Amino acid sequence: MSDIKILTGPEVAKHNGRDSCWIIVHGKVYDVTDFLDEHPGGSRIILKYAGQDATEAYEPIHPPDAITTNLPVEKHLGAIDASTVAKAVKEVTAEETARQAALAARPPLENVLNMHDFEVVAKAVIPAKAWAYYSSGSDDEITIRENRTAFQRVWFRPRILRDVSVVDWSTTILGQKSSLPLYISATALGKLGHPDGELCITRAAAKHGVIQMIATLASCSFDDILNAQANGQTFFLQLYVNRDREITRRYVQHAEARGVKGLFITVDAPQLGRREKDMRMKQVDDDAGAEVQKGQAGVKKDQGVARAISSFIDPSLSWKDIPWFQSITSMPIILKGIATAEDAVLAYEAGVRGIVLSNHGGRQLDTARSGIEILVEVVAALRAKGYHPDPRFEIYVDGGVRRASDVLKALALGAKAVGVGRAFLYAFCAYGDAGVERAIQIFRDEFEMNMRLLGVRTLDELRPEMVDASALNQHIVSVPRDNLFEQTYQPLQITKLKL
Amino acid sequence: MSDIKILTGPEVAKHNGRDSCWIIVHGKVYDVTDFLDEHPGGSRIILKYAGQDATEAYEPIHPPDAITTNLPVEKHLGAIDASTVAKAVKEVTAEETARQAALAARPPLENVLNMHDFEVVAKAVIPAKAWAYYSSGSDDEITIRENRTAFQRVWFRPRILRDVSVVDWSTTILGQKSSLPLYISATALGKLGHPDGELCITRAAAKHGVIQMIATLASCSFDDILNAQANGQTFFLQLYVNRDREITRRYVQHAEARGVKGLFITVDAPQLGRREKDMRMKQVDDDAGAEVQKGQAGVKKDQGVARAISSFIDPSLSWKDIPWFQSITSMPIILKGIATAEDAVLAYEAGVRGIVLSNHGGRQLDTARSGIEILVEVVAALRAKGYHPDPRFEIYVDGGVRRASDVLKALALGAKAVGVGRAFLYAFCAYGDAGVERAIQIFRDEFEMNMRLLGVRTLDELRPEMVDASALNQHIVSVPRDNLFEQTYQPLQITKLKL
Amino acid sequence: MSDIKILTGPEVAKHNGRDSCWIIVHGKVYDVTDFLDEHPGGSRIILKYAGQDATEAYEPIHPPDAITTNLPVEKHLGAIDASTVAKAVKEVTAEETARQAALAARPPLENVLNMHDFEVVAKAVIPAKAWAYYSSGSDDEITIRENRTAFQRVWFRPRILRDVSVVDWSTTILGQKSSLPLYISATALGKLGHPDGELCITRAAAKHGVIQMIATLASCSFDDILNAQANGQTFFLQLYVNRDREITRRYVQHAEARGVKGLFITVDAPQLGRREKDMRMKQVDDDAGAEVQKGQAGVKKDQGVARAISSFIDPSLSWKDIPWFQSITSMPIILKGIATAEDAVLAYEAGVRGIVLSNHGGRQLDTARSGIEILVEVVAALRAKGYHPDPRFEIYVDGGVRRASDVLKALALGAKAVGVGRAFLYAFCAYGDAGVERAIQIFRDEFEMNMRLLGVRTLDELRPEMVDASALNQHIVSVPRDNLFEQTYQPLQITKLKL
Amino acid sequence: MSDIKILTGPEVAKHNGRDSCWIIVHGKVYDVTDFLDEHPGGSRIILKYAGQDATEAYEPIHPPDAITTNLPVEKHLGAIDASTVAKAVKEVTAEETARQAALAARPPLENVLNMHDFEVVAKAVIPAKAWAYYSSGSDDEITIRENRTAFQRVWFRPRILRDVSVVDWSTTILGQKSSLPLYISATALGKLGHPDGELCITRAAAKHGVIQMIATLASCSFDDILNAQANGQTFFLQLYVNRDREITRRYVQHAEARGVKGLFITVDAPQLGRREKDMRMKQVDDDAGAEVQKGQAGVKKDQGVARAISSFIDPSLSWKDIPWFQSITSMPIILKGIATAEDAVLAYEAGVRGIVLSNHGGRQLDTARSGIEILVEVVAALRAKGYHPDPRFEIYVDGGVRRASDVLKALALGAKAVGVGRAFLYAFCAYGDAGVERAIQIFRDEFEMNMRLLGVRTLDELRPEMVDASALNQHIVSVPRDNLFEQTYQPLQITKLKL
């Protein structure tokens, strides 16, 4: 419409402070002076680029339209004459050099045999701050590890001599077809670990008929992800509820309009947990951030990224809000983060379509129990009330899933499907789309093997008596060591070769 | 009959590809072009020797008649003129050099005091790929270790002041005399670890009156083993059921004809487990393989050795097949791989003569329970039905047995005998026949001592109340460590010498 | 009043033995010959400075008036002419040099994220003997570690969808306002670790509305602490009861007169425990000591510091003494060190105002249970008698508290507040007042987060069913390792990068 | 009587083989040709000194009169002319040099704070074979460690506010006064570790009013020990029953005649256990041995020391023999090695005066339960029958005792006293008599402290409810580690100093 004004580097460079702050993004100049205090990632990171080109820092963690959407049109000052901008000499840090070497040294994908292999590769090839953000749990990280070990306290009681020539691990989740009894759960800030972020999942999930849950705090914008979908691909949406319900209403209705098939409202995060690994990584404060989905803004100023990216979340969310959600959308509503039988019963009675038994990947309340442990009490309580089984109310579990056998244990105990987050996150951080595909393939192989070995042909044949979960609630037994005794006791030695 | 054609090395060397593939084995030339896709070990390993002498690779893992049996007579091209074959310069790898040094440095056999000593020697003296194949368990290898530790959760309640001057640990198994209350269980591919393979067991077992169970996937052929027997030696046969039941019928009836006294049908392996140690050992794909007992062929093409050697196994095997087995043989039929009380009851009711409570040495379904743990529930369930004790239905246990005390625990809890596999496998890998004999001797010494200390003179005097098995089902208790606390807590120190 | 006599260094130096022992403190000369055997810290440490200036050794562990109070006025010999005293050449030990370097290398306070961080800094920056004294537990130190791990056997059952916009963790303790549901518990000899000793706590506690419990064996004198108080600041007093009850009476009544709001009588220390870390630190005998609050003297001679500082404690203290305490003070009386339900009931019936369930920080009876474990049986027993809840009888717990989540667990199970000792001790040893303030801040952050995540807005909303304490009494499970197996079993390896 | 013949070195040197074997001991020459096969320590060790002076090898492990007692008088050939014997050049081994250095570097005795300290010093200063013999347990050494850890599964429930000014830990054992509620239990072959052997115990026990149990297999002769007694000192006798009951009769009656106050018949050793640490120590075969108390000979030939020293033990010993023992002695008879409630009841009904609940220090049946665990079931069973408490039937416990608190736990649960063996053995190996005295002193200090802290003034006040033994039978919980997870999980780190 209007003529685009052309600005020069020196001109922009003058506006390099809090009083007047201009930045260049994707060849355009913006006046962000008034936006400084509104920036979800804090003003500090913007001011670092005041008067300069911020594209490289902006790119990995914002969708292309974030700035144009959030900034009034009169702050769009014009285009920059690129030739007039001084090239920033980019310093390559030792960490970055090591990271590039690790990328080059990744094992071939066929050497990756399990989900842990993805994690060890990801750890080596992503920036330290991404690792700290992804891998951290809250407080002493008891729960994050409990999530894994809880599955190993459930033992199989496999049946034999059933014809298992053909086994089928496909299912439906909320009525949607899924080639696996799991969905890829929401994790935030994917571009910290891979330039394509969550799109890696979208593309791989499309190929293999797996459902992706989109995170409110994804690095890729909701629409970018939806635009990348294949025909008939199914998405769910994870929702952090905004203090400004109007923003939430628009966001939810937009998702429904674009065909999202399930709304997973996070109910275990009125505030984001203290994650000390993340906090130790001081620099995270300087240049990380989060794509807050369009319209989630309105947050308070600089208080560290962890809180900043979540400061819009409404801690007043309560059961009283559920009817409102039911009034604004016809998507099935699922409550994500149920941790007790009592709340599972309330959820059922509130008329939602399902619950996710979860401790938020060990990132919220430490020494909270694992989803698989909660499952046992939830199923018992629902059953006692006549609420289970009920095809209109599905139960999911997440946290610590690394093997198809974990999934089968959850299903045997009454879950409809499980959510898997970090495993896929690490898969794409390590190998992009191909990593996600490999992860799906490994799960598939494991489902085939484990179902045969369990003696079930379809998931319907899974029964509670196929597992022994009696040790589930023995969850932690501290063992103060007897140091004096151990220093004096001399362990038995095996025979030695004469080498 | 016919004149044998004499071929030369250069002539054979021309047929070095997939289109035409000749190989030399034991001085004979064969055209294996059409067999490539039928080879249980995959085509790749054959093609590596296309146009060359393959004897050295063939030898350790096939019986002498494997190739003549599987290949139509028209593909037997003739004899080779050895003088015309270029000697392959055999590269001695660093691994092989270290292995030879380790062989020379083996401790004298009398220094071997227990089964673990065999394992550590075997690990040093066998090829890495043999070790990977033998030692691997499935997935996270929880079950393979659980097998060992489960025995240590059973504690003795020994009785005193009984006259134990004379103790006798002999018994019968399926009515056959056995000098020990254990049989040597089937393990596959023995020649990977020792040139004589399973024959080491045969010869030592004969001397000491111990029963050997022959594996379908033994490296030595069934008939080679039987031919090596001493008078009156007892064998059992482990059976993987072929998709082609006719092959299985011939195999079983041949075994019965040759005097085998028990048919142990493996029921826990519709598909062989994912064993990651084995999978990590990439090269295994290149030159390992399996002696598939005569007539077990008919498998699919190259898909990795682990699957290839087992691809003939029929995943459709079911309870409905049991009467057929009973109709083709009068050998006692035992189901190997029962893992629940429910299936034990079904087995009894199906009229078989016994069951092996087993998780396949931790190589199939991970986090499956150990045999000794299953035993308790099985005996209780059978007893409740009036099925136990019953001399026509014997219960065996295998997995993790390393001590006579393990065996006594199983017998006290109701087993008739136990199967011991890896311990004897490692014994012959480390020391050949002499290793097996030493292993038997150690068991004998331990039985004498432990029976006296338990206060039992014969195995019949073992009683359930002689063990405390109340901790058996506490099988795993995860202990997420408190890393912060452990890094700050300073352990107590013992006094220091002034050196 | 009188002319002050001026003495010279050489004159003082003559009195350098047991027969005649003069010392200089703060510029004054004292004849301590007759006091040698009365010195709570033993005669040896005084004799080390006989004839010399003892100020530097005296200063950290005595209040300014200790010597004038304890020594008859005729032993105050006069002032010293400082110019005549030979300057002691102070040898700087390697330990001291390392300590100073560590002090300079302390991480910035904002890097301290939890209580363990204080401990690791304190360990580096305080003298080895202070560390030994503070950190030691009794015997095998099972209990000191159990205190920490016991909290981790209590798991949360958090509730969701409650409006937690506003959360409030303030409470009252004995009717006194407290900004946190914890008080800073008594720990002894604070100046061993920081020159300002317990005053660091006093000043920080004043700023943040936290209650300080003053220790009988504090390094700073009772009055010094009280004199440093801010308006309205609340103190409790921890009392070791003297064999001479008159001394105790005066001490208690003085405390009440100065406004102390609660009298915590220690009942678990008729004798101080054997603490081997402390005992290993031989030198502690040479120069440590304790400020025994004014009037607590009358102890026996040199028998090692640990006993010396506590030798005035009366082992005959019994239930019969309680009415006497009630007669001499109107402060609420609390019994500190209750370890069984039986004694909790007796305490209630004796009419005291509260109890502290405690094992004295793991420093008394080893393998005594943790306070949090005792809490469960105590609440059950009191409830069964109709004694709980009762606003006139409060229950506290101490030992092992490092996280706000620990506190919330105790409160959910029925405690009114918890005591935190070592964490604040280490905080001021590491950073002085600022450390204590940071510790309070961390607790505050954790309370906010954890209460929101638990779904409680005020402490009143905490309920027993919000925790699963069923594993609490599984306190120790020994795991004799299977050394042979572990030496032979080869752990699974993750994939390796080609670096 | 007779003239003593004088022989020369060269003369003796001719008799240096199996056909004619002479040795010199303490200046006398003996013809041991016919005794070779009777020697409890085997013929090999004698033949090593054939034709030479064997005194140095003989001395540490035989009483002075062993050879004269066992050898017919006609084999006493005469005296040796010492000047004619070639001095053996004694080679000092590297081990011996290190041992001597360790002896010189022992910490001062006051640095020894607990029983483990003795053990670490003993390990350093005694020959490797002595250490192997003393420290070894059977098989996997599960039980030897369980003995220690079992005590740590018993937790205290201490009482407070009882007047504990005076505490008294003296008691009676079998009616004999004992200054401690423990006796020093029998351990064999004391001279292997200290030249004075068991006499160190005798002398120290006399000073402190502690009872010593003399071992059948002590290095010092029974009479040497009795001759070293102080007035009124109490001894018990541990008895291995000989196949030749006449020998046993004489031995028992001699003991009674010399004033022994209790006969502890070992009932858990029809055969000595397989102890692999001992077996690994090959050389033990060459020069160790055992003082078999006068008249215990008559054993079979060379079959390894472990069996040789015990081959006289009668495996046919049974309940039927008890009346015979009761007929030959009026000493109270105690059965040592009871392991079940059933046998405890039988013992009571057989009219013996007491039982020792024991697993023989973890040296016999591995995975047998600990004495403290057995105690709980034994007391319950006896009580149910009305057999407990009964002053005529005392219950003792041994195995793993290292602390006075262990003893108090056993007494609270119903034991009259405990046996402590290895702790005192290591004490005298490390420091001779003074070590034993220090050990007694440490126990005394610990009894004083722990009784005060428990709230008991006399041992009679100990009650079962003062301990929580509910975890006792949770004895082992195996924890197969999750190796993949542990390799990928990155433990939390504490803050770092900038050093």
3-state SS of D291-354 is: CCCCCCCCCCCCCCHHHHCCCCECCCCCHHHHHHHHHHCCCCEEEEEECCHHHHHHHHHCCCCE
Chain centroid to CA A175: how far?
23
Contacts of D119 in chain A (CB under 8 A): 488
pLDDT beyond 50 at D458: yes
Residue A113 CA to residue B282 CA, distance in Å, equals 12
- Binned at pLDDT 50, 70 and 90, residue A181 comes out as very high
- Least confident segment among A313-317, B399-403, B446-450, C71-75: C71-75
- Least confident segment among A208-217, A397-406, A430-439, C41-50: C41-50
Quickly tell me which residue has 């091209």 as its tokens. B77
Q: Is A141 on the interface with D (CB under 8 A)?
A: yes
Q: Is B496 in contact with D107 (Cβ distance < 8 A)? A: yes
CB contact at 8 A, D466 and D453: no
- Least confident segment among A279-283, B70-74, C121-125: A279-283
Q: If you average pLDDT over residues D109-135, what whole number do you get? A: 90
Catalytic positions of C are: 240, 268, 360
Q: Which residues partner with D236 through β-bridges?
A: D213
Q: Which residues partner with C368 through β-bridges?
A: D156
- Binned at pLDDT 50, 70 and 90, residue C296 comes out as very low
Please report which helix (H) or strand (E) contains residue C211, including its range: strand C211-214
* Nearest CA among A465, A459, A152, A450 for reference residue B340: A465
Q: If you average pLDDT over residues B430-438, what whole number do you get? A: 97
- Binned at pLDDT 50, 70 and 90, residue A476 comes out as low
Q: Provide the pLDDT for residue B4.
A: 80
Q: If you average pLDDT over residues B217-222, what whole number do you get? A: 91
* Nearest CA among D472, D450, D468, D471 for reference residue D459: D450
Touching D (3+ Cβ pairs <8 A), the chains are: A, B, C
| Assigned token pair, C492 | 């699974």
Q: What is the pLDDT of residues A365-398, one digit of tens each?
A: 999 999 999 999 999 999 999 999 999 999 999 9
C-chain residue closest to A430, CA distance: C497
pLDDT beyond 50 at B389: yes
| Assigned token pair, D22 | 């002479």
pLDDT beyond 50 at A443: yes
Q: Provide the pLDDT for residue C273.
A: 81
Phi, psi of A160 (to 5 degrees): -120, 170
Q: Which of D113, D116, D486 to mutate to test the interface with A (most CBs of A within 10 A)?
A: D116
CB contact at 8 A, C307 and C272: yes
> D-contacting residues of C 354-373, CB under 8 Å?
364-369
B240 classed as catalytic: yes
| Radius of gyration from C-alpha coordinates of chain B | 25
Q: What is the pLDDT of residues C48-88, one digit of tens each?
A: 889 999 888 787 666 566 787 678 889 999 999 988 987 76
pLDDT beyond 80 at D294: no
Most confident of A92-101, B411-420, B490-499: B411-420
Q: If you average pLDDT over residues B298-317, what whole number do you get? A: 60
| Beta-carbon contacts below 8 Å between B and D | 162
Q: Name residue B469's amino acid.
A: A
Q: If you average pLDDT over residues A235-240, what whole number do you get? A: 97
Burial string for D179-197 (b: 16+ CB within 10 Å, else e) reads bbbbbbbbbbbbbbbbebb
* Sign of the CA dihedral running B347, B350, B351, B352: negative
| Residue of higher predicted confidence among C173 and D88 | C173
- Least confident segment among A294-303, C420-429, D49-58: A294-303
Q: Provide the pLDDT for residue D385.
A: 98
Mean pLDDT of chain D, nearest integer: 87
Q: What's the burial of A166, exposed, middle or buried (CB within 10 Å: 0-12/13-18/19+)? A: exposed
| Assigned token pair, A14 | 């003058």
| Assigned token pair, D234 | 């109490």
C-chain residue closest to D149, CA distance: C478
Contacts of B141 in chain D (CB under 8 A): 480, 483
Strand pairing category for B171-173 and B176-178 = antiparallel
Q: What is the pLDDT of residues D342-395, one digit of tens each?
A: 999 999 999 999 999 999 999 999 999 999 999 999 999 999 999 999 999 999
pLDDT beyond 90 at B494: no
- Binned at pLDDT 50, 70 and 90, residue D141 comes out as confident
> A-contacting residues of B 112-131, CB under 8 Å?
112-113, 116-117, 120-121, 124
Mean pLDDT of chain C, nearest integer: 87
E strands, C283-428, are 333-338, 354-357, 394-398, 417-420
E strands, A294-351, are 333-338
Residue D335 CA to residue D352 CA, distance in Å, equals 7
pLDDT beyond 80 at B493: no
Catalytic residue among B31, B53, B268, B285: B268
D-chain residue closest to B409, CA distance: D367
Q: Is B164 on the interface with A (CB under 8 A)?
A: no
Q: What's the burial of B19, exposed, middle or buried (CB within 10 Å: 0-12/13-18/19+)? A: exposed
Q: Is A163 in contact with B271 (Cβ distance < 8 A)? A: no
Phi, psi of A88 (to 5 degrees): -75, 130
Q: Provide the pLDDT for residue B284.
A: 37
Q: Which member of D148, D153, D446 has the closest CB to residue C274?
A: D446
Q: Give the pTM.
A: 0.87
Q: What is the pLDDT of residues A13-47, one digit of tens each?
A: 999 988 999 999 989 999 999 888 777 666 777 88
Residue partners of B323: CB distance under 8 A and separation at least 6: none
Touching A (3+ Cβ pairs <8 A), the chains are: B, C, D
Phi, psi of D55 (to 5 degrees): -55, -45
Roughly what angle, to the nearest 10 degrees, separates helices D371-384 and D341-349? 50
Residue D493 CA to residue C305 CA, distance in Å, equals 36
Q: Provide the pLDDT for residue C298.
A: 35
pLDDT beyond 60 at C101: yes
Q: Provide the pLDDT for residue B146.
A: 86
Q: Is B368 in contact with A156 (Cβ distance < 8 A)? A: yes
* CATH code of domain C130-468: 3.20.20.70
Q: Provide the pLDDT for residue C290.
A: 37
pLDDT beyond 50 at D428: yes
Q: Provide the pLDDT for residue B42.
A: 67
Residue A396 CA to residue A172 CA, distance in Å, equals 12
* Nearest CA among A358, A386, A355, A385 for reference residue A370: A358
Give C92-100 contacts, CB < 8 A, sequence gap 24+. C95/C127, C95/C128, C96/C127, C99/C124, C99/C125, C99/C126, C99/C127
| Residue of higher predicted confidence among C287 and C345 | C345
Q: Is A402 on the interface with D (CB under 8 A)?
A: yes
pLDDT beyond 90 at A310: no
Q: Residue A262 CB: number of other CB atoms within 10 A?
A: 24
Q: Is D116 in contact with A485 (Cβ distance < 8 A)? A: yes
Residue D190 CA to residue D134 CA, distance in Å, equals 9
| Assigned token pair, D133 | 């013999």
Residue partners of D147: CB distance under 8 A and separation at least 6: D359, D361, D362, D370, D371, D399, D400
Catalytic residue among B285, B302, B360, B396: B360
Q: Provide the pLDDT for residue C483.
A: 63
Q: What is the pLDDT of residues A132-179, one digit of tens each?
A: 889 988 888 888 888 988 898 899 999 999 999 999 999 999 999 999
- Least confident segment among A264-278, C324-338, D186-200: A264-278
- Binned at pLDDT 50, 70 and 90, residue C3 comes out as confident
pLDDT beyond 70 at C487: no
Q: For residue B168, what is the DSSP state?
A: B
Q: What is the pLDDT of residues D222-232, one digit of tens each?
A: 999 999 999 88
Which one of 3.40.190.10, 3.10.20.30, 3.40.50.10470, 3.10.120.10 gives the CATH number of domain D6-84? Answer: 3.10.120.10
* Nearest CA among A275, A277, A278, A255 for reference residue A265: A255
Q: What is the pLDDT of residues D258-284, one digit of tens each?
A: 999 999 999 999 988 888 888 877 433
pLDDT beyond 90 at D493: no
* CATH code of domain B128-468: 3.20.20.70
pLDDT beyond 70 at B293: no
Residue partners of B98: CB distance under 8 A and separation at least 6: none
pLDDT beyond 80 at A474: no
Q: Residue D296 CB: number of other CB atoms within 10 A?
A: 22
Q: Provide the pLDDT for residue C480.
A: 52
| Assigned token pair, A35 | 């936006």
pLDDT beyond 80 at B480: no
Chain centroid to CA A163: how far?
38
Residue ranges per structural domain of chain D: 6-84, 130-288+321-468
Mean pLDDT of chain A, nearest integer: 87
CB contact at 8 A, D276 and D205: no
Residue A219 CA to residue A200 CA, distance in Å, equals 12
Phi, psi of C136 (to 5 degrees): -75, 150
* Nearest CA among A9, D314, A225 for reference residue B166: D314
- Class assignment of domain D130-288+321-468? alpha beta
3-state SS of chain D is: CCCCCEECHHHHHCCECCCCEEEEECCEEEECHHHHHHCCCCHHHHHCCCCCECHHHHHHHCCCCHHHHHCCHHHEEEEECHHHCCCCCCCCCHHHHHHHHHHHCCCCHHHCCCHHHHHHHHHHHCCHHHHHHHHCCCCCCHHHHHHHHHHCCCEECCCCCCCCCCCECCEEECCEEECCCEEECCCCCHHHCCCCCCHHHHHHHHHHCCEEEECCCCCCCHHHHHHCCCCCCCEEEEECCECCHHHHHHHHHHHHHCCCCCEEEECCCCCCCCCHHHHHCCCHHHHCCCCCCCCCCCCCCCCCHHHHCCCCECCCCCHHHHHHHHHHCCCCEEEEEECCHHHHHHHHHCCCCEEEECCHHHCCCCCECCHHHHHHHHHHHHHHCCCCCCCCCEEEEECCCCCHHHHHHHHHCCCCEEEECHHHHHHHHHHCHHHHHHHHHHHHHHHHHHHHHHCCCEHHHCCHHHEECCCCCCCCCCCCCCHHHHHHCCCCCCCCCCC
3-state SS of A406-440 is: HHHHHHHCCCCEEEECHHHHHHHHHHCHHHHHHHH
Q: Provide the pLDDT for residue C44.
A: 77
Contacts of B477 in chain A (CB under 8 A): 153, 471, 474-477
Same fold, B6-84 and B128-468: no
Q: Provide the pLDDT for residue B71.
A: 84
Contacts of D276 in chain A (CB under 8 A): 492
Roughly what angle, to the nearest 10 degrees, separates helices D404-412 and D371-384? 20
Residue B445 CA to residue B335 CA, distance in Å, equals 31
| Residue of higher predicted confidence among A41 and D442 | D442
Q: Residue A274 CB: number of other CB atoms within 10 A?
A: 25
Q: For residue B16, what is the DSSP state?
A: B
Q: If you average pLDDT over residues B398-427, what whole number do you get? A: 97
| Residue of higher predicted confidence among A385 and B279 | A385
